């Protein structure tokens, strides 16, 4: 079995199978709600994740929040998903050696159902 990195195959033996102690996360607003990415950043940082980038996704039409493994360690993405209140089985790989983050979170229109906003107070 091989995973794809853009145009390149990555042998499965190079894929890690446990979450790292430090997980670098990128958060992108895919729903258009002002300030929602900052709320997710603050929430994840409070829980010990290293949020290194916050910005907007290419558009604001994302319905369901996505958690994407960028480096071949799906357990990192599953850990982030679980922390946000997303079923870890929904995390998926989309590897790209041009990325310098472990996990990308693209916030969808379902953001109000997730823990960063449910636990506000």
Section 108-121 average pLDDT: 86
Please check the confidence at residue 116 and state whether its pLDDT lies above 80: yes
Q: Over the stretch 72-92, which tens digit does the pLDDT of each residue have?
A: 999 999 999 999 999 999 999
The full 3-state SS of the chain, as one line of letters, equals CEEEECCEEEEHHHCCCCCCCCCEEEEEECCCCCCHHHHHHHHHHHCCCEEEEEEECCCCCCCCCEEEECCCCHHHHHHHHHHHCCCHHHCEECECCCCCCCEEEEECCCHHHCHHHHCCC
Question: Domains in the chain and their CATH numbers?
Answer: 21-116 (3.30.70.2390)
Q: Over the stretch 5-62, which tens digit does the pLDDT of each residue have?
A: 555 555 444 455 688 889 999 999 999 999 999 999 999 999 999 999 999 999 999 9
- The confidence score (pLDDT) of residue 114 equals 95
- The confidence score (pLDDT) of residue 53 equals 97
């Amino acid at each position: 079995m091989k995973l794809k990195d853009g145009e390149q195959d990555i042998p499965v033996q190079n894929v890690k199978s446990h979450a790292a102690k430090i997980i670098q996360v990128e958060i992108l607003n895919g729903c258009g709600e002002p300030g929602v990415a900052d709320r997710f950043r603050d929430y994840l940082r409070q829980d010990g994740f290293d949020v290194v980038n916050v910005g907007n996704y290419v558009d604001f039409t994302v319905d369901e929040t996505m958690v994407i493994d960028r480096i071949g360690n799906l357990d990192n993405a599953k850990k982030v998903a679980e922390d946000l209140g997303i079923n870890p089985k929904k995390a998926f790989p989309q590897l790209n050696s041009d990325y310098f983050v472990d996990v990308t979170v693209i916030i969808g229109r379902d953001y109000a159902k997730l823990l960063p906003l449910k636990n506000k107070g």
